[in-house]
Amino acid sequence: MSQRLFVKGNEAVAMAAIEAGCRYYFGYPITPQSDIPEYLSRELPKLNGEFIQAESEVGAINMLLGASATGVRAMTSSSSPGISLKQEGISYMAGSELPGVIVNISRSGPGLGGIDASQADYWQSVKGGGHGGYHIIVLAPASVQEMYDLTMLAFDLADIYRTPVMVLADSVVGQMKEALVPNPRPETTLPEKDWVVRGRKEGTEQKIVKSLFLGDGELEAHNWKLHGKYDVMREKECRQELFMTEDAQLIVTAFGSVARIAKTAILTAREAGMKVGLLRPITLFPFPTQAYRDVTGQCKKILDIELNNGQMVEDVRLSVARDAEVHFYGRPPGAGSLPVPEELFEQIKKYY
Amino acid sequence: MAFDYEKYIRPGKLPHIWCPGCGHGIVMKGMIRAMDTLGLEKNNTAIVSGIGCASRLPGYIDCCTLHTAHGRAAAFATGVKLAKPEMTVILVGGDGDGTAIGGNHFIHACRRNIDMTYIIMNNYIYGMTGGQFSPTTPHMHKASTTPYGNPDPSFDIAKLAIGAGATFVARGTAFHANQIDKLIVEAIQHKGFSVVEILDDCPTTYGRRNKFKSVIEMMNRLKEVAVPVKAAEKMTPEQLAGKVLTGILYKEDKPEYCSEYQKVIERAGGAAR
């Protein structure tokens, strides 16, 4: 068994990337994710890997695009304003079907906003933040252990589906220190990367990485192909945590950091004899629609809690059984706006 | 009587965020003295910045101040100047903001020769995010993301500005405090895009990683490496090795962008200003 370490969430991301075989990192300084590039600038050269601090986030995502086209595992990380800059490249990666891992240790907005923990990038992340109608897989860790495990998973999912995968967390999860068991890389069967650009050999077919399709019907077919992949993801890759939902009369739903706070409030409610549970989506795209449908077969009250003004709640409303009622409690980001368990317990009492 | 800085300061915004020993405050005072010398009106002076420690400066000054996105100050200011050519537009920022993420905007502002003054506080590091290396961090020096030394060659901001077409380029240092306002006065008076690079220090995130024992040592280094352009004329290449020229490095009279655009308006049959 691996030893237990006491590390930051951001460090766990970097450790998982290395264990996953990622040897190329491209980034640009921004708070609160700088631990990731700092860790990788120290560790990658020891493994013959390379670290580049790009001239901007636009530079970094395009470097990732280039490295990925050669078949290596590569990543970038940033925080909300920087992720906005990367959207152009993410759209090109989605269009060119290039794998890659993008970590967003999100902060508050809009605009410059602040560096406080925020979940206001939900829409941007799950609805396709760039132009052109695509999705990327979005994983939402709620602990340091999950920062590690889901980053590892992100590299596999990226290779399996030839897609960018985002790990979406915030400064609570990124900066928090917790125990971590750095599990070894699982043995996943991955498709052969027969599409990579490696230099043309005599007698072999030319490899082209592109997102431009000008032939009659080509782009339409390409779009249907991409959306076919998204359907497969919806079928196979949904992940969620169910906590005390079996007998629940009210189910709280929340992702990432705020789900941790909600869990404490749920335990308080249980002590008070209230049957309350938690449904925590781990994949935000694909959204675990079926899990919501299932739990609302018997529990008709859902309380959605987010660190924003209400974004995931739209997907929750689309997913629950028709006769279920969905309530929302949100704390838009800002200094001092992280809710405490007592505050969430009050909300549970209100809707129970 | 001591110079009254307070008339240009927003008292409610102090204390500033800069660390003890940081040279940004020296540059801000120089800039205020320059504004006073020129008698700039607060309501007719726009001070534009991007993101970073140096970019916090406009927040403390009681003018029309605009805090924009990282690296975008030059583009933002171009919009201000085009719409309000009668305003004095001053950009302030650091080396990372101006020459990494803002590099493209920077060189194109130089190329257009639009009448603005860009004060770049070059402290060789990304201070605000904790000390990552910037495009001006010296080769093989240490930063939080170059723990084994920086493999990148560094930019010479003044040469970059000259090469890109800026028509006034000067360099000073945070040590030579009395020169700063003089350089800024000339830069603002120059009709065209003017760049004033101030070599600065960051004891917190650059100095401590690169064996500078104190702020005084960092300031002494600025004193030692700086050679005024006039003095340099009498020095041999050997004597100039490792030195940095200060003063007005380049000055040229060239058509200014806003004026040139008036000609375009005339050609198009419009009513020029």
Q: How far apart are alpha carbons A166 and A185 in whole angstroms?
A: 19
- What's the pLDDT at A198? 78
Interface contact A29-B146, CB threshold 8 A: no
CB A116 within 8 A of CB A258: no
Q: Per-10-residue mean pLDDT for chain A, 352 residues long?
A: 89 98 96 96 95 95 94 97 97 96 95 91 96 97 98 98 98 96 95 86 80 94 98 98 98 98 98 98 98 97 97 98 97 85 98 96
Amino acid A1: pLDDT: 53
Angle, CA of B163, B166 and B170, to the nearest 5°: 95
What is residue B192's DSSP assignment? Answer: S
- Is A56 close to B101, i.e. CB distance below 8 A? yes
Q: Domain locations in chain A?
A: 5-180, 240-351
Q: Would you say the CATH fold of A240-351 matches that of A5-180?
A: yes
Of A346, A339, A322, A351, nearest to A248 by C-alpha is A351
d(CA A202, CA A195): 16
Contact A29 B147 (CB under 8 A): no
φ and ψ at A156, to 5 degrees?
-65, -45
- The verdict on a CB contact (< 8 Å) between A53 and B71 is no
Tokens of A96: 């060119």
Give me A157's structure tokens: 């999912």
Distance from CA of A64 to the nearest CA of B (A): 17
Q: Which residues of A touch B144 (CB under 8 A)?
A: 34, 38, 41
Chain B residues close to A37, C-beta within 8 Å: 132, 145
How many angstroms away from the CA of A44 is the closest CA of chain B?
A: 11
Report the alpha-carbon distance of residue A259 to residue A264 in Å, rounded.
9
User: ipTM of the assembly?
Assistant: 0.86
Indicate yes or no: CB of B126 within 8 angstroms of CB of A29. yes
Please identify which residue in the block is written with the tokens 């890389």.
Answer: A185
Terminal-to-terminal C-alpha distance of chain B: 43
Contact A24, A49 (CB under 8 A): yes
Smallest CA–CA distance from B100 into chain A, residue: A55
Find the distance separating the first CA and the last CA of chain A, reported in whole Å. Answer: 43
Cβ-defined contact of B145 to A41 (cutoff 8 Å): yes
Report the C-alpha gap between A56 and B103 in whole angstroms.
Answer: 9
Give the tokens for residue A339.
């809710």
φ and ψ of B66, to 5 deg: -130, 115
Q: Do B148 and A45 touch (CB under 8 A)?
A: yes
CATH match of B12-267 with 3.40.50.720? no
Contact residues, chain B to chain A, C-beta under 8 Å: 51, 67, 69-71, 96, 100-101, 103, 126, 128-130, 132-133, 135, 144-148
CB contact under 8 A, B101 and A29: no
According to the model, what pLDDT value does residue A200 have?
72
Q: Are A249 and A352 in contact (CB under 8 A)?
A: yes
- Beta bridge partners, B176, equal none
Q: Which residues does residue B64 pair with via DSSP β-bridges, in sequence order?
A: B46
Domain A240-351 belongs to what topology?
A: Rossmann fold (3.40.50)
CB-count burial class (<10 Å; 0-12, 13-18, 19+) for B86: exposed
Q: Which CATH number fits domain A5-180: 1.10.1040.50, 1.10.540.10, 3.40.190.10, 3.40.50.970?
A: 3.40.50.970
Pair type for strands A276-281 and A240-243? antiparallel
Cβ separation of B96 and A31 shorter than 8 Å?
A: no
**Where do the structural domains in chain B lie, given as residue ranges?**
12-267
Chain A contact probe: residue of B124, B129, B137 with most A CBs at under 10 A: B129
- pLDDT tens by residue, B157-203: 999 999 999 999 999 999 999 999 999 999 999 999 999 999 999 99
User: In the predicted model, what is the mean pLDDT of chain B?
Assistant: 96
Q: How far is CA B256 from the centre of its chain?
A: 20
Pair A8, A145: CB distance under 8 Å: no
Note the pLDDT of residue B136.
Answer: 98
DSSP secondary structure letters along B60-112: HBSSEEEE-STT-HHHHHHHHHHH-TTSEEEEEEEHHIIIIITHHHHHHHHHH
Q: Match 């009106």 to its residue by tokens.
A: B41
When computed from its CA atoms, the radius of gyration of chain A, rounded to whole angstroms, is: 20
| Contact (Cβ atoms closer than 8 angstroms) between residue B55 and residue B97 | yes
* Residues in chain A whose Cβ is within 8 Å of chain B: 28-31, 34, 37-38, 41-42, 45, 51, 53, 55-57, 81, 111-112
What is the SS3 assignment for chain A? Answer: CCCCEEEEHHHHHHHHHHHCCCCEEEECCCCCCCHHHHHHHHHHHHHCCEEEECCCHHHHHHHHHHHHHCCCCEEEEECHHHHHHHHHHHHHHHHHCCCEEEEEEECECCCCCECCCCCCCHHHHHCCCCCCCCCCEEECCCCHHHHHHHHHHHHHHHHHHCCEEEEEEEHHHHHCEEEECCCCCCCCCCCCCCCCCCCCCCCCCCCCCCCCCCCCCHHHHHHHHHHHHHHHHHHHCCCEEEECCCCCCEEEECCHHHHHHHHHHHHHHHHCCCCEEEEEECEEECCCHHHHHHHCCCCCEEEEEECCCCCHHHHHHHHCCCCCEEEEEECCCCCCCCCCHHHHHHHHHHHC
What does the pLDDT average to over B201-209?
97
* Count of positions (residues) in chain A: 352
CA-based torsion, B160, B163, B166, B172: positive or negative: positive
pLDDT at B210: 97
Report the residue from A41, A42, A81 with minimal CB separation from B70. A81
